[in-house]
């Protein structure tokens, strides 16, 4: 049975986030197994990686989705026919897969069931030969 080895869980404080930012600024992204040691954090590597990728990266876009972002999200969701949030987020600069998934599940999922906004006839899919 695995134990947590005394690793901290739960909310991140501003001071701990600052240490993570500083460490990544000095050493760069990657080598997540070393980040927590270098920054002096009592967190696992997965926790550090997820915090950085989903909340702390400087190029993350916050706030409401634009009309264009919503349109792209809907179109890609229909074309892909699966909830491949990372593929959709890759087409929305500054948005993380968590942002896209959260937006879809809180706003679009219910709306699309009640009142589809997109006419499927206007979509053209080019399939590889």
For the chain, the residue count is 129
Q: Does residue 96 belong to any structural domain of this protein? A: yes
What mean pLDDT value characterizes the chain? Answer: 81
Has residue 25 been placed in a domain?
yes
- Domain span including residue 19: 14-56
pLDDT of residue 20: 92
- Summarised one tens digit per residue, pLDDT across range 82-98 is 778 999 999 999 999 99
Amino acid 77: pLDDT: 84
Q: What's the pLDDT at 42?
A: 85
Q: Hey, what are 60's tokens?
A: 């993350």
* Distances 102 to 6, 11, 26, 99, 118 between C-alpha atoms, Å: 31, 19, 31, 5, 20
For the cut 60, the answer to whether the pLDDT of residue 45 exceeds it is: yes
Local structure of 106: helix, strand or coil: helix
Q: Are residues 96 and 51 in the same domain?
A: no
Same domain membership, residue 26 and residue 52: yes
pLDDT of 1 reads: 41
Same domain, 24 and 48: yes
Q: Do 86 and 113 have their domain in common?
A: yes
Average pLDDT for residues 77-85, to the nearest whole number? Answer: 80
Amino acid 22: pLDDT: 93
Indicate the SS3 state at residue 81. Answer: coil
């Amino acid at each position: 049975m695995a134990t947590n080895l005394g690793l901290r869980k739960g909310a991140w404080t501003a001071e701990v986030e600052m240490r993570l930012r500083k460490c990544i600024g000095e050493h760069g992204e990657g080598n997540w197994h070393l980040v927590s040691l270098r920054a002096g954090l009592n967190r696992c590597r997965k926790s550090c990686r997820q915090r950085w990728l989903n909340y702390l990266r400087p190029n993350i876009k916050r706030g409401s989705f634009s009309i264009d972002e919503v349109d792209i999200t809907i179109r890609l969701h229909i074309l892909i026919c699966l909830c491949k949030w990372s593929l959709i987020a890759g087409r929305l600069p500054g948005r993380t897969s968590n942002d896209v998934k959260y937006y879809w599940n809180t706003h679009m999922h219910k709306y699309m069931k009640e009142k589809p906004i997109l006419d499927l006839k206007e979509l053209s899919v080019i399939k590889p030969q």
